[in-house]
């Protein structure tokens, strides 16, 4: 069969394919990087990948040929933890934050998540769609082709459903793939201060409604000291599991609440944040399929400790990296900056970082059969970087290295 599109002369092609782990390598460095690579595309899918001369049988007279001029090409990157859909912004709390008022203290004063809740309740569906599209366009420009998007700024049924409907519209109205997560338990509304149980029941009652309308695939809880306890979280997760939701968790972000252990127990797809993970938590994750989804932009922005990534990886935990894009603790859509922080602050190695934003991020979203690597039969999502090697992309920080993005075999972004 012939290809519709062939990209050739790729200096370093990060296919993202997982190879057997070599001696002296971590289980995060085992991704394939081909020199002088090519990719052949048929329709919206990858039909062949290799290095050296492009086999002539792939080329017909209508095949479009693109010379990558020796640059780096990687799979479309995946941002597997975002609070994409929200009203307003929180620069009004920024001065308090840099003066040292803790994140949870701002929330207790009715600010933080609760101030974004107010703005999201007030926003129309169209306003939310338009703001999210602007962010998605920015994410795409950084090389991101799949994004997880959570609700959680409604807390009442009507606004939670509105946020999830926005996700459905985004799936139809722009190029980036969206994975939808219901996060009704993101904070306790003030009116439930003395009725925690009542609020938890309301979240549980929404689960079948969301399932029936097919508005979300995942369920997530902010399991944190001062937000929802381990016990309260478990109760909601068990109900969500009964309705067939896949699970992910905000775990051990600020205080250790044994979130990682809960993720292992309930076989969640990912445990996210983990800045305060314990030895036992690391032990739980390393013996599981749970992806440790690290969000170092949040540590950077909150001025907090970083997750012990080096220790986790050296012990065999599988790691992903995401922005946590949200209006409070990490207001950036720039996944490349997060990757650069991962190199500088988490001491992750270049191959580990690219694995974390491609195939491992895909696993954390249950999408690894379709995206996350450049392999035959997968979606033709890939990114050109204006760089000869992957190290340079991490070293030259704070700028956008992407020069072209292909989604489903089509050019959707060009610098």
Q: How far is the CB of 338 from ligand IZC (least distance, A)?
A: 15
Q: Residue 144 and residue 381: Cα distance in Å, rounded? A: 9
* Footprint on residues 21-80 left by ligand IZC (CB under 6 A): none
C-alpha neighbours within 13 Å on the C-beta side of residue 250: 26
Residues 218-257 as x/- pattern, contact with ligand IZC by CB under 6 A = ----x---------------------------x-------
Q: Are strands 64-67 and 72-75 parallel, antiparallel or unpaired?
A: unpaired
Residue 112 site contact among Zn ion, ligand IZC, none (CB < 5 to 8 Å, cut-off depends on kind): ligand IZC
Residue 256 site contact among ligand IZC, Zn ion, none (CB < 5 to 8 Å, cut-off depends on kind): none
Q: How far is the CB of 260 from ligand IZC (least distance, A)?
A: 16
> Hey, how many other C-beta atoms are within 10 angstroms of the C-beta on 76?
29
The structure tokens listed for 5 are 């599109």
Q: How far is the CB of 183 from ligand IZC (least distance, A)?
A: 8
Residue 329 site contact among Zn ion, ligand IZC, none (CB < 5 to 8 Å, cut-off depends on kind): ligand IZC
Where do we find the tokens 């793939």?
177
Q: How far is the CB of 293 from Zn ion (least distance, A)?
A: 9
Give me the sign of the Cα torsion angle 397, 399, 403, 408: positive
Q: Residue 335 and residue 139: Cα distance in Å, rounded? A: 7
Region for 2 from its dihedrals, namely left if φ exceeds 0, alpha if ψ lies in -120 to 50, beta otherwise: beta
Q: What is the size of the binding site for ligand IZC (CB under 6 A)? A: 10
Where do we find the tokens 């922080």?
341
Q: How far is CA 124 from the centre of its chain?
A: 26
Q: How far is the CB of 387 from Zn ion (least distance, A)?
A: 30
Residues 304-343 as x/- pattern, contact with ligand IZC by CB under 6 A = ----------------------xxxx--------------
Residue 88 site contact among Zn ion, ligand IZC, none (CB < 5 to 8 Å, cut-off depends on kind): none
395, 382 contact by CB (below 8 A) = no
Q: Which is nearer to ligand IZC, 327 or 372 (CB)?
A: 327
Q: Which is nearer to ligand IZC, 32 or 224 (CB)?
A: 224
* Footprint on residues 310-339 left by Zn ion (CB under 5 A): 324
Q: Which residues contact 91 (CB under 8 A, 6 or more apart)?
A: none
The structure tokens listed for 73 are 């090409």
User: 5 has which bridge partners?
Assistant: 41, 64
Q: Which is nearer to ligand IZC, 28 or 136 (CB)?
A: 136
The footprint of Zn ion (CB under 5 A) covers 324
The footprint of ligand IZC (CB under 6 A) covers 83, 112-113, 116, 222, 250, 326-329
């Amino acid at each position: 069969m012939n290809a519709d599109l062939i990209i050739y002369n790729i200096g370093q092609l990060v296919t993202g394919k997982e190879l057997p782990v070599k001696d002296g390598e971590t289980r995060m460095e085992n991704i394939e990087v081909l020199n002088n690579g090519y990719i052949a595309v048929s329709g919206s899918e990858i039909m062949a990948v290799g290095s050296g001369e492009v086999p002539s049988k792939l080329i017909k007279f209508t095949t479009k040929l693109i010379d990558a001029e020796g640059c780096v090409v990687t799979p479309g990157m995946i941002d597997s933890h975002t609070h994409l859909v929200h009203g307003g912004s929180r620069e009004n709390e920024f001065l308090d934050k840099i003066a040292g008022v803790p994140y949870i203290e701002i929330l207790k004063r009715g600010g933080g998540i609760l101030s974004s809740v107010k703005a999201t309740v007030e926003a129309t569906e169209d306003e939310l769609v338009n703001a999210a599209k602007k962010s998605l366009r920015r994410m795409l420009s950084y090389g991101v082709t799949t994004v997880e998007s959570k609700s959680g700024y409604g807390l009442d049924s009507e606004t939670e459903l509105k946020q999830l409907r926005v996700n459905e519209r985004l799936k139809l109205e722009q190029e980036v793939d969206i994975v939808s997560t219901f996060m009704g338990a993101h904070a306790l509304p003030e009116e439930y201060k003395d009725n925690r149980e009542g609020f938890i029941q309301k979240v549980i009652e929404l689960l079948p409604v969301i399932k029936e309308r097919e508005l979300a695939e995942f369920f997530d809880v902010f399991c944190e000291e001062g937000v929802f306890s381990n016990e309260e979280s478990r109760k909601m997760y068990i109900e969500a599991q009964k309705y067939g939701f896949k699970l992910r968790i905000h775990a051990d972000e600020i205080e250790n609440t044994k979130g990682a252990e809960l993720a292992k127990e309930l076989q969640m797809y990912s445990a996210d944040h983990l800045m305060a993970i314990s030895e036992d938590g690391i032990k739980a994750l390393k013996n599981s399929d749970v992806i440790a989804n690290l969000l170092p932009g949040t540590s950077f922005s909150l001025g907090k400790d970083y997750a012990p990534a080096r220790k986790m990886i050296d012990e065999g935990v599988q790691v992903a990296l995401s922005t946590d894009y949200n209006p409070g603790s990490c207001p950036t859509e720039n996944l490349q900056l997060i990757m650069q922080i991962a190199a500088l602050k988490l001491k992750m190695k270049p191959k580990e970082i690219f694995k974390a934003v491609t195939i491992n991020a895909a696993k954390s979203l249950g999408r690894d059969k379709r995206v996350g690597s450049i392999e035959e039969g997968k979606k033709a999502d890939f990114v050109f970087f204006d760089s000869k090697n992957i190290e340079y992309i991490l070293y030259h920080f704070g700028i956008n290295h992407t020069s072209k993005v292909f989604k489903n075999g089509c050019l959707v972004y060009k610098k």
